[in-house]
Amino acid sequence: MSHHPKLAILGFGTMGQAICAGLVEASGYPAGLIHAVDIHPSAMKARAEALGIRLSKEVETAVKEAEVVLLCVKPKELKGLLSELTAAGALDHKPLVVSIAAGTNLAFLDEHTPEGTPLIRAMPNTPCSIRKGMVVLSPGKGVTEAQLAIARALFEPLGRVMDLDEKHMDAVTGLSASGPAFMFVILESLAEGGVQCGLPRAVATELAAQMTLGAASMVLETGKHPAALKDEVTTPAGCTIAGLMVLEDGRIRSVVARGIERATQVAAGLG
Ligand X SMILES: NC(=O)c1ccc[n+]([C@@H]2O[C@H](COP(=O)([O-])OP(=O)(O)OC[C@H]3O[C@@H](n4cnc5c(N)ncnc54)[C@H](OP(=O)(O)O)[C@@H]3O)[C@@H](O)[C@H]2O)c1
Binding residues (CB under 6 A) for ligand X: these are 10-16, 37-40, 59, 72-75, 77, 81, 100-102, 123-126, 177
Q: How far is the CB of 177 from ligand X (least distance, A)?
A: 4
* Residue closer to ligand X, measured from CB, 157 or 194: 157
- When the beta carbons of 118 and 174 are compared against ligand X, the nearer one is 174
Task: Count the Cβ atoms, other than its own, within 10 Å of residue 192.
Answer: 14
* Smallest distance from ligand X to CB 121, Å: 10
Closest approach of ligand X to the CB of residue 27, in Å: 18
Compute φ and ψ for 112, nearest 5 degrees: -105, 20
User: Rounded CA gap, 50 and 62, in Å?
Assistant: 20
CB of 248 to ligand X, least distance (A): 30
**Which residue type does 203 have?**
V
Closest CA to 37 of 19, 13, 55: 55
Smallest distance, ligand X to C-beta of residue 167, A: 18
Report in angstroms how near the CB of residue 76 gets to ligand X at its nearest.
9
- Of the pair 181, 252, the CB lying nearest ligand X is at 181
- Pick the closer one to ligand X by CB: 113 or 204: 113
By beta-carbon proximity to ligand X, the closer residue of 77 and 192 is 77
Q: How far is the CB of 18 from ligand X (least distance, A)?
A: 7
97: Cβ contacts below 8 Å, ≥ 6 apart: 68, 69, 71, 91, 109, 113, 117, 118, 119, 120
DSSP assignment letter at 42: G
DSSP states of 234-259: --TTSHHHHHHHHHHHTTHHHHHHHH
Instruction: Find all residues with CB under 8 Å of 250, minimum gap 6, and list them.
Output: none
Name which of 104, 113, 111, 170 is nearest 136 in CA terms. 170
Give the residue with the Cβ less far from ligand X, 59 or 96. 59
C-beta closer to ligand X: residue 177 or 204: 177
Nearest residue to the partner ligand X, using Cβ = 13
- DSSP designation for 1: -
Contact assessment for residue 65 and residue 90, using Cβ atoms and an 8 Å cutoff:
no
Position 67, amino acid: E
